[in-house]
Amino acid sequence: MNHDKICVTDAWYPSKDEGVVMPGIAAPWYALYPEGVEHGLRTGIRNAMELFQASLRSNPDAEAISYFDGTLTYKSLDDEARALAAALSQRGLVHGDRLGICLQNTPHFVIAVLAAWYLGMAVVPINPMYRVDELAFVVDDAGLAVLIVETGSGEDIAAEVLELRPHVLAFAASPDDYQRRADDRVLPSVPGPGVLPSLGREIETHRKASFARAEIQPSDVAFITYTSGTTGRAKGAVNHHAAAAYAGDTYRNWVPLVSTDRILGLAPMSGTTGLITGLVATLAAGACYVLHYRFQHGVIRDAIIEHRPTFVVAPPTLYIALLDDPLLTPEDLSSLTKTYCGGAPVPPTLVSRWRERFGGEIRTAYGLTEATGPTHLAPVGASIPVDPETGALAIGVPVPGTDARIVDTTGADVQVGELGELVIRGPQVVRGYWRNEDATEAAFVDGWLRTGDLVRMSSIGWFFLVDRIKDIIIASGWNVVPREVEDVLYQHPDVREVAVVGIPHPYRGETVRAYVSTRSDVPSVTVAELTSFVRERLAVYKCPTEIEFVTELPKSNNGKILKRRLRDDAMSSVRENPLADAQRHERN
C-alpha cells in the first residue's frame, strides 16, 4: 500500500508537499472562521506519535503533566514511556497488538499510550466504572493482548475476567505514583499486595532496556474507542493515527493552543473527549496536561487555583457541577480563558449562567466517537446564535477539511433551515467499527458518517443540534423534541439537571416524562409548578405529563446523561404494573 496518501472515508489525508486540500462541497461557514485558520485540510504531521516527538524535541524540559503536587516533563514522560515499551517488547508485544487501559486520569494512562505507540500497538481505552461483564466484553471484542487496571478494586474485577483468559497479560497501576499528596477526597486508600504485577515496578526495572521502535503509518490504528452503549451494545470505533493527529491538531490551530497553555483534564481519557481534547491536543501544542484522577468539586477547585489551567472541554454536566460549587469565585476561574462545552446538547441557560457568575464565555463543540473528536466548533470571537424555532444553541461550524450535509430519510439534501440528519466526512472520521461489518454498513454510507443527530443549518453556516433522532417522542401523532422541553425546564431557577424521555402510553402511543434534579436535596418546587412553568412556554402536547424528582441523573463516565437507562427503568415499571401506569396516565 502507498502510505504517502491514506484514504480516510472519502477524504484524503494529504502528504506534506500538497499544501491545503479543500473539501468537496460549497461551505458558507468559511466566512465565520477565525482569522488565520485555513479552510481546507492541513498538511504536515502524519501520526499522533509525531505530535509528541515534535514537542519533546522543541522543549524537553517543559512540564507535560501536572498531577496533584507531582510533575513530569516531556523528557521524563518519554523516559517512562520508553521503559514501559521495553518491558512490553520483552514480553512479546508487537506492532498491531491491542493494549487496554482501564484507568482514571493518571500519568500512567499517558505513559501507557505512548509506550503502545512506540511499539505500533493500538490503544483500547476502557471505562474504569465497568463491571465484570462489561470489561469481559471489551477484552474479548478487542482481542486484548495486554490490560492495565488500577490497584485494588480494579485488580479484583480484572482477576475475575482474566481467570478464563490467561493469554492476556495484565498489570496494575497505583494512582499514588507520581505524586505525594494522596488526596483522600478522590484517591483510594493504598491497598496491600495486589494480585497483579505492578506497572510501576515493571517500568522501574526496564529503564535501561532497549526495544525496536515501530514505524507508524497514517493508516495504523491509534485507538479503538468503544461507544458509550447509550443506544445498545458498545461498538469499537477504529481511530487511525491520521485521524487522531488531525483531530488534535485541529484544536491547536482553532482555539488556538500554544506551549504555555495548561489543559484541564476534566473529561476522562477513557472517552474520546479526554483522549483528543486532553491528551492529543496537549501533545500537539507541547502544553501541560493538568490531571486530578477524577472529577470531585473540591479537588477540581484546588487544581484550578493551584495550576491555573487555561483550556478545557467538558460536557454540560461538569459545568453545572462547577456552577453549583458555592466556593468557586470569578478570580478562581480567571485563568480559564479558553472554555468549550460539548458531548451533549448545551442549554443556552448554562452559557448565560456561566457568564453572569464567572464572567467568561463558554464556546460550543460537537464531535463523536466515530469522528475522533471535533467536527464542529464555535469560532472564537463570534456570538453563538440560538435557533429561534427550537431554542437550541448552535454547536458551531464544521472545522477545516470537514464536509457536512443535512439529509432526509432518503439521503437527499434538505433545504437550508430544514431539519434532517447530520452526515459528515473528513480526515478525522473513522473507517468503521472493529470487527462489526453490519454496524459499519449501517453508519457509513458512500463515505459519509450518519450521526443520528437531528440538525438544521442557518443560511450563513451555523449548525443547530436539535436532538438525537432516536430520542424524538411521538405523542398523539405530534413530534416532541426532548431537547426543547429540557431547555425550557433548565430556565427554572430551581432546576439543576433534567432529562426528558418518551414512555409508552395506552392512548397517546408515547407520553413525555421528565426526570429532574434540583439545586437542593429537598425540592422547593412542586410538580404542579414545573408543569405550569412549561405550559406557559410550550404547546400543551410537548409538556411532560409526568415529572419525577431524582437526586442524581444516571451518567456515563464521560458525564453524559444516560437516557437509555431512564427509558429502560420506565419500561420496567410499565411492564410490572401496566394497569396502574395506564390509570396514572389517564389522570394526567
The x, y and z cell numbers of residue 395, run together, are 454547536
Task: Report the DSSP beta bridge partners of residue 433.
Answer: 237
| Three-state DSSP class for residue 72 | strand
Q: Is the CB of residue 413 less than 8 Å from the CB of residue 407? A: yes
The x, y and z cell numbers of residue 532, run together, are 405550569
φ and ψ at residue 312, rounded to 5 degrees: -155, 145
What pLDDT score was predicted for residue 389?
84
Q: Which has the minimum average pLDDT: 56-65, 91-100, 204-213, 291-300?
A: 291-300
Nearest to 461 by CA among 13, 64, 128, 30: 30
Overall average pLDDT of the 191-212 stretch: 92
Overall average pLDDT of the 128-156 stretch: 94
Delimiting residues of CATH 3.30.300.30 domain(s) in the chain: 472-587
What pLDDT score was predicted for residue 7?
33
Q: Is the CB of residue 386 less than 8 Å from the CB of residue 364? A: no
Is residue 508 predicted with pLDDT exceeding 60? Answer: yes
Q: Which has the minimum average pLDDT: 4-18, 113-127, 479-493, 550-564?
A: 4-18
Kind and range of the H or E run holding 581? helix 578-587
Please say whether the dihedral angle defined by the alpha carbons of residues 234, 119, 284 and 289, taken in this order, is positive or negative. Answer: positive
Overall average pLDDT of the 141-153 stretch: 96
Q: Which has the minimum average pLDDT: 14-23, 84-93, 467-476?
A: 14-23
Overall average pLDDT of the 196-225 stretch: 96
Is residue 235 predicted with pLDDT exceeding 50? Answer: yes
pLDDT, averaged across the chain: 88
Delimiting residues of CATH 3.40.50.12780 domain(s) in the chain: 13-457
Burial of 554 (0-12, 13-18, 19+ CB in 10 A): middle
Distance (Å, rounded) from C-alpha 413 to C-alpha 422?
10
The CATH topology of domain 472-587 is GMP Synthetase; Chain A, domain 3 (3.30.300)
Q: What is the dihedral of CA 568, 321, 559, 281, to 10 degrees?
A: 170
What pLDDT score was predicted for residue 584?
41
Overall average pLDDT of the 551-556 stretch: 88
Q: Are strands 338-341 and 362-368 parallel, antiparallel or unpaired?
A: parallel
Overall average pLDDT of the 371-392 stretch: 91
Q: Is the CB of residue 134 less than 8 Å from the CB of residue 127? A: yes
What pLDDT score was predicted for residue 25?
60
pLDDT digits (tens, 9 = 90+) for 301-315: 999 999 999 999 998
Q: Is the CB of residue 368 less than 8 Å from the CB of residue 449? A: yes
What pLDDT score was predicted for residue 22?
47
Percent of all residues in the chain with a pLDDT value above 90, rounded to a whole number: 68
The DSSP letter of residue 561 is: B
Is residue 484 predicted with pLDDT exceeding 70? Answer: yes
Distance (Å, rounded) from C-alpha 414 to C-alpha 407?
5
Distance (Å, rounded) from C-alpha 148 to C-alpha 582?
49
Burial of 7 (0-12, 13-18, 19+ CB in 10 A): middle
Q: Is the CB of residue 376 less than 8 Å from the CB of residue 234? A: no
Please say whether the dihedral angle defined by the alpha carbons of residues 211, 213, 219 and 224, taken in this order, is positive or negative. Answer: positive
Sheet holding 221-226, edge to edge: 169-173, 146-150, 98-102, 122-125, 221-226, 236-240
Distance (Å, rounded) from C-alpha 335 to C-alpha 330?
10
CATH: 3.40.50.12780, 3.40.50.620, 3.40.190.10, 3.30.300.30. Which one for 13-457? 3.40.50.12780
What pLDDT score was predicted for residue 32?
93
Overall average pLDDT of the 195-204 stretch: 95
How sure is the predictor about 5, in pLDDT bands with cuts at 50, 70 and 90?
A: very low
Q: Is the CB of residue 464 less than 8 Å from the CB of residue 458? A: yes
What pLDDT score was predicted for residue 118?
98
Q: What is the dihedral of CA 116, 118, 121, 125, to 10 degrees?
A: 30
Is residue 588 predicted with pLDDT exceeding 80? Answer: no
Nearest to 87 by CA among 111, 67, 103, 110: 111
What pLDDT score was predicted for residue 524?
84
Alpha-carbon Rg for the chain, nearest whole angstrom, is 24
The tally of CA atoms less than 13 A away on the side-chain side of residue 117 is: 26
- Return the number of other C-beta atoms located less than 10 Å from residue 588's C-beta: 11
Is residue 441 predicted with pLDDT exceeding 90? Answer: yes
What pLDDT score was predicted for residue 374?
92
Percent of all residues in the chain with a pLDDT value above 70, rounded to a whole number: 90
Q: Which letter, b or e, does each residue of 384-420 get, where b requires 16 or more Cβ atoms within 10 Å of its Cβ?
A: beebeebbbbbbbbbbbbbbbbbbeeeeeebeeeebb
What's the first-to-final CA gap in the chain, in angstroms?
64
φ and ψ at residue 218, rounded to 5 degrees: -55, -30
More confident residue, 321 or 18: 321
pLDDT digits (tens, 9 = 90+) for 71-126: 999 999 999 999 999 999 999 999 999 999 999 999 999 999 999 999 999 999 99
Is residue 20 predicted with pLDDT exceeding 50? Answer: no
Q: Is the CB of residue 298 less than 8 Å from the CB of residue 348? A: no
